[in-house]
Amino acid sequence: MQRRDFLFSTATVGLSSCVHSAKRAQPSTLIPPILPIRAQLDRIFRVTVCLRPFRAAGPRLDVEKVGEKIVVHNYGHGGSGWSLSWGSSSLAVEKAMAGGEREVAVIGCGALGMTSAILLQRAGAKVTIYAKERPPEVRSSRATGSWTPDSRIALASAAGPNFPALWEKMCRTSFHTYESYLGMAGDPVEWTDRYNLSDDTPSPSRSSNDSENALDFAHYQDRVADLTPRSRELPPGSHPFPARKVRRNSSLSFNIAAYSRQLMNDFFVAGGKMETVEFRTPSELSRLPERVIINATGYGARALWKDESIIPVRGQIAWLIPQPGVHYGVSYRNVYILARRDGIVVQGGGRGEMEGYNDTNEQPDRAEAEAVVQVAIDLFGRMRQPVL
C-alpha cells in the first residue's frame, strides 16, 4: 500500500445526495449530503512547497556530546512529522531529562520543536526555543495536515529490527495525545471522512523507470489498525461522486494554522521563552546557557549537522479558499484533496511514494498547481448536487 493510499484509506467529514438511494443503503453506509468543492483556478490563493526530511533508517533520536553540551536529536521523520510528533518528542524529552537538568534548550520551532518544548515544560523544565523562523514560516506549516504516521518514515531494508516496535510506540503515544485536542475552539484537530474514488479509466501510471527505481518504503499501519475505522465500499446511489467505486473511511486532520497557534499559546502560557537565532555549525551551540539541547531542526539538520543521510522529499500544495460546510477529503486519479478549516489542500502524486524524492527545489510551480486543480474542477463539476 502506498503512502497516499494509506492517507486516504485511513481517513473525510462527509455529507450523500439522493434521499431515495440513501434509504436503500445499509445503515453503516448512510451519509448526509456532500457539498461539492468549488474548485476553480481563480480560487487558488497560494502555492507552497515543503521539503520533508527523509532518513532511510528512520528518525534520528540519539544523544550526542558537542563540547560541553548534550544534544538529543529529534529529526528526520519524512512525511510523518506531525503525526509522530508527540510520541517522538516524548522519547527525546525522556533522554534530555535523564541527567536531572531543569533548564533545556530546543532548536527549531516546527512540529517536533513545539511538542518537545511543551513536553519538557510538563516534565518540570524551564524551556527556551531558539529558531530562525516561527510558524507560519517554518516548513511544518506547509504540510498536508493529515494523520500519516508511516509516510516515508524509513526503508524496510534500512530500519533496524527494533524500529517497528519503536514506531508503534511513537504512533500510539501521538494518537492518544491528539485525542485531547479534539473539540477545542478553532478545531485544531478533528476527525474527517475521506473518499477514495476509482473509475473505469486508468489513472496515469508511473513510468517503467520509476517502477524499477522505486524504494522499499516501510509500512507499519497494520500494527495500529485498531486506531482508525476500516475502509468500507459505498454502494452505488449512496453517494454523489462520479466514480465506479467509492471507499470511505475517517481519520484525523490537523488544521495547522489553528493547531500551531494553540501550541504556541500553550508554550508561552507555561512560561516558555523564544529567541530568533540562526545556527550554522554545531559549535555555535556553545554560546547557549543551557547544557542540554533538543535538536528538532527537521530538514535544516542536513545543513546544520552536515547530515547527508537526510534526503529531501518535495511536496507542493495548491491552496483553495476554505469553503463553509466542506470538511472532507478525496483521492482521485493521483490527486489528493483535503478540505481543512484554513484552506483546501490539493496535491498531486503521479509517481506514488517516489514523488518529489531527492528534489531540493522549493520554488512553487504554478503550472503544476493548476494541473492538479484542473482534475478537481473536472471531478466536482460532474458531481451530483446534494438534496438539502
Task: State how many domains the chain has.
Answer: 1
- For residue range 139-149, list pLDDT tens digits in order: 999 999 999 99
Residue 32 structural domain: 3-381
**Lateral strand order in the sheet of 189-198:** 44-55, 310-320, 343-348, 335-340, 328-332, 189-198, 245-254, 232-233
C-alpha cell of 114? Answer: 513545539
C-alpha cell of 153? Answer: 518514515
Percentage above 90 pLDDT, the chain = 84
Judging by DSSP bridges, how do beta strands 310-320 and 343-348 pair with one another?
antiparallel
C-alpha cell of 177? Answer: 495525545
The reply to whether 93 falls in a domain is: yes
The reply to whether 274 falls in a domain is: yes
Q: Is 127 helix (H, G, I), strand (E, B) or coil?
A: strand
- For residue range 256-283, list pLDDT tens digits in order: 999 999 999 999 999 999 999 999 999 9
Cell numbers 541527567 correspond to 99
The reply to whether 169 falls in a domain is: yes
Q: Which residue has the higher pLDDT, 22 or 171?
A: 171
In whole angstroms, give the CA distance from residue 270 to residue 4: 37
Q: Please, which pLDDT band fits residue 212 given cuts at 50, 70 and 90? A: low
